[in-house]
Structure 1
Amino acid sequence: MDTPELWQFTSSHFNEKARWALDFKRVPHIRHSLIPGFHVPVIKRMTGKTHVPVLKLNGAAISDSSKIIEALERAYPEPALYPADPDERRRALELQDYFDEELGPYIRRWIFYVILPYPQFVRAAFVSHASPAAQLAQGAMSPLIGVIMRRQMNINPATAEIARNKTLAAMDRLEHEVRPSGYLVSDRFTVADLTAAALLSPLVRPPEFPYKAAGPLPEPLAKIRDSVSTHRAFRWTLETYRQHRGESAEVATQANVSRIKTDANRTANTGS
């Protein structure tokens, strides 16, 4: 079996969801960290689409974090993220779908609305892993990239307010769903817990998140984080990361490092 390969953005919450599943299952894998915008030709060649994460597993390129976890459950069943009990499994998958649809897109829109006026912070979060040439190219194009992101993600004051309300509603739902055990389903960590915690990570910013942005948070984001820091969902996310995030299972090979640099330089030079 070939070593699985994950194509990712370092700071994306849906990418963190797939990455966490690989690490939780202790699956040795190679990571290809791409630059938003410049990633399009690379991913489109693989899947015909443009979104990450993408996992190459047993010759297949799998996109969508939930489908990636489903494939990992089949290929690496232990430790399981899906409960064995049918009713508990149904509940875990329903909660995964809820947070995927009702939290993931909205917290992303809200956070980007807040941080896009701070291009240096965005660059540190998404591009610090790349070669100097690629970082320069992204810096030069950051105003254009910001315009494109606002258009593609429908980011404006009105939609940001909707996104804020949806995020807070999802946090309230999480608070309601947590069982006496501290988990969302029964008495153990499942795909539901992983999904909710990973998708809240851009706001909560737990210390165990594997990629740290250099420098302080932009003041508006710091204020938002402080305003929700006493919410049970916020504290639950911190505790879930502390207990279950664990160490990386990434395989750091020289071939992988060279390939990442080549991809970054190619996209920086072509811009397509």
Structure 2
Amino acid sequence: MADTVPPKGLDDRGYIEREGSLTRVPDAFRPVVAAARERLQDVFGARLHSAYLYGSVPRGTARVGRSDLDLLVALRAEPTDADRQAARVLGAALDKEFPQIDGAGTLLYGRARLLSDLERYDLGWFVACLCTPLLGADLAAFLPRYRPDSLLARETNGDLALFLPRWRERIAGAEDREEARRPLVRFMSRHLVRTGFTLVMPRWQGWTSDLREMAEVFGAYYPERARQMRTAAEYGYEPVGDPEVLHSYVDDLGPWLAEEYTRVHGTKAPRPD
């Protein structure tokens, strides 16, 4: 059954096609994108090398009042604490001003890191395949084309085991607050579904960013875990505040997935941070 799933998200040579485009941004989100473009220039000025959109907004699947605005900024030098604070202030201002979005976040990196050998199959791939150019010269011109192979799987999500202790700490800190648990469920659900998908991606030979489709593809190869992953995909879109969901992630699904990932693809190359 699994081998009959048609490949998606690849060009006719088997490379992952870049998803997203400014032409796909829904009309309701165009004022937000325009404001982000203008304000990023104001905030970072000449230090800004390039900026990108990623996520549901450039894919054209964003939901008014439910989706967030995701940005990635490449600076000409490594970001400082002041840069990170400025990005947080910008995100908060956009979120407050535009009811179309439910939050705004900015990933900040130096150009050199994004183009480094260490990040070629992680952040580099992310920029080249999952990010839509918004400002400046596109770094994808300096990056290779990517296939859905085991190397890409290892370097994108082969570090889940490192995250689980941190997740347990975050869960403990939100134990008595449902409003804090709900975003944790959303974040961890999405991370687990994407990790489950990239575990089987080289066998499926395709790419998708749709959580439900990711869960279905995973379930074709691991039917004994299919229901858990489908449920996680739903919580990735519509999170609940149930603490039992979080504990199941760090006590059952997460540890199993981390062990299986290491067995199949190995461990991601260590990063300094």
Report if TM-score (shorter chain) is over 0.5.
Answer: no
TM-score, normalization by structure 2 = 0.30
Q: Which has the higher contact order (CA 8 A, sep 6+)?
A: 1
Q: Which has the higher strand share?
A: 2
